[in-house]
Amino acid sequence: MDQRKRILVVDDDPKLVDLLRAALERADFSVVTAANGLQGEKVFRGNPVDLIMLDVMMPQRDGFDMLQDVRAISSVPIIMLTALSDTDNVVRGLELGADDYITKPFELKQVLARVNAALARVERMKADSKATRVQSHGDVSLDLDRGIARLRGIEVPLTPIELELLHYMMMHAGRLLERETLLRDVWGYDYFGKTNLVDVAIRRLREKIEADPSNPVYLLTVRGQGYRFAS
């Protein structure tokens, strides 16, 4: 039985797909592919995968539609592939539940680093000590085993990256957490560059766990520095 991690690559550019397949297979991943969101969802439903790399603009069904459908039934890590100038698409993808994004053109070593970081996050969450599996602060509680948060007893499903981000911030409640710290310890990045991953993820979490996201009481902004989970 093949024990390799399986990656689903969904993109309508056959040359790019072949390039990614070759690079991922050299890194000892198993790869399945699809040319659009319609095919991609069929492949996903028929083949258990550990991570999805998903292009945005595709014929028949775009990446956003597939992203929404997958997120409705799965918390599998999803990395969006997008053109460098598509800032709005990047934000939209993250708000719909993508864990990360890679802009085209990209270096293959960057792709492999992001894939490995995303898979490592999943394994890290599974390996957390039993003492931290369930946490509570005020009206917010977090259950890592079930992959959910609760707000005043009401279940709130989270994506893998939202789950780990909230877990990390609750573990460090009361402390200032700079964006670079969150990118390093939650996303697993060694190089930060210009990215709005943290800000978008915080905004999504606020929409899920704050009674009034525009006036948060848990996920607080420390102006010009970063964020803090209220102790």
- Out of 80, 97, 125, pick the residue that ends a domain: 125
Q: HEC profile for 11-38? A: CCCHHHHHHHHHHHHHCCCEEEEECCHH
Burial (CB count <10 Å: 0-12, 13-18, 19+), residue 48: exposed
Domain co-membership, 141 together with 196: yes
| Inside any domain, residue 95 | yes
Is residue 95 within 8 A of residue 114, CB to CB? The reply is no
Q: How far apart are CA 153 and CA 141, in angstroms?
A: 8
Domain co-membership, 175 together with 99: no
Sheet of 219-222, strands arranged across: 177-178, 226-229, 219-222
- Out of 84, 102, 125, pick the residue that ends a domain: 125
Domain co-membership, 106 together with 26: yes
CATH code at 223? 1.10.10.10
Domain co-membership, 51 together with 155: no
What pLDDT is attached to residue 29?
97
- Out of 125, 151, 174, pick the residue that ends a domain: 125
14-18, 46-50, 159-163 — which is least confidently predicted?
A: 159-163
Number of domains observed in the structure of the chain: 2
Domain co-membership, 23 together with 100: yes
What pLDDT is attached to residue 192?
53
**Residue 143's domain spans which residues?**
129-229
Domain co-membership, 170 together with 210: yes
What pLDDT is attached to residue 174?
93
pLDDT, tens only, 87-129: 777 778 888 889 888 888 888 988 998 899 889 888 877 766 4
The tokens describing 209, both together, are 């766990």
pTM flag (> 0.75): yes
The residue count of the chain comes to 231
Q: How far apart are CA 133 and CA 135, in angstroms?
A: 7
Helices marked H in 72-107: 87-95
